[in-house]
Amino acid sequence: MENGAAQPVIVAIDGPSGTGKSSTSKAVAAQLGLSYLDTGAQYRAMTWWMVTNGIDVDDPSAVAAAADKPEIVSGTDPNHPTITVDGVDVSGPIRTPEVTSKVSAVSAVPEVRARITELQRSLAATAERGIVVEGRDIGTTVLPDADVKIFLTASPEARAARRSGELKGADVHTTREALLKRDAADSSRKTSPLAKADDAIEVDTTDLTLPQVIECVVTLVEEKRAGK
Ligand X SMILES: Nc1ncnc2c1ncn2[C@@H]1O[C@H](COP(=O)(O)OP(=O)(O)OP(=O)(O)O)[C@@H](O)[C@H]1O
Ligand Y SMILES: Nc1ccn([C@H]2C[C@H](O)[C@@H](COP(=O)(O)O)O2)c(=O)n1
**Member of 27, 131, 137, 150 binding ligand Y (CB under 6 A):** 137
**What is the C-alpha separation between 200 and 143, in angstroms, rounded?**
12
Say if strands 72-75 and 82-85 run parallel, antiparallel, or are unpaired.
antiparallel
Mapped onto helix, strand or coil, the DSSP state of residue 49 is helix
**Member of 27, 160, 213, 221 binding ligand X (CB under 6 A):** 213
Stretch that binds ligand X, among 60-68, 83-91, 104-112, 202-210 (CB under 6 A): 202-210
Phi and psi torsions of 49, nearest 5°: -65, -45
**What is the C-alpha separation between 171 and 161, in angstroms, rounded?**
9
| Stretch 10-49 residues interacting with ligand Y (CB under 6 A) | 17, 39-40, 43-44
15 assigned to a ligand binding site: yes
| Closest CB to ligand Y among residues 196, 225 | 196
* Cα atoms in the Cβ-side hemisphere of radius 13 Å centred on 100: 14
Is 162 among the residues that bind ligand X (CB under 6 A)?
yes
Helices marked H in the chain — which ranges? Answer: 21-32, 39-52, 60-66, 97-107, 110-126, 156-166, 172-188, 210-225
Nearest distance, CB of residue 100 and ligand X, angstroms: 8
- Residues in contact with ligand Y, counted by CB under 6 A, come to a total of 14
**What is the C-alpha separation between 38 and 120, in angstroms, rounded?**
9
8 assigned to a ligand binding site: no
Q: Which residue is nearest to ligand X (CB)?
A: 20
| Stretch 33-72 residues interacting with ligand X (CB under 6 A) | 40
Is 22 among the residues that bind ligand X (CB under 6 A)?
yes
Residues making contact with ligand X (CB under 6 A): 15, 17-23, 40, 162-163, 166, 205, 208-210, 213
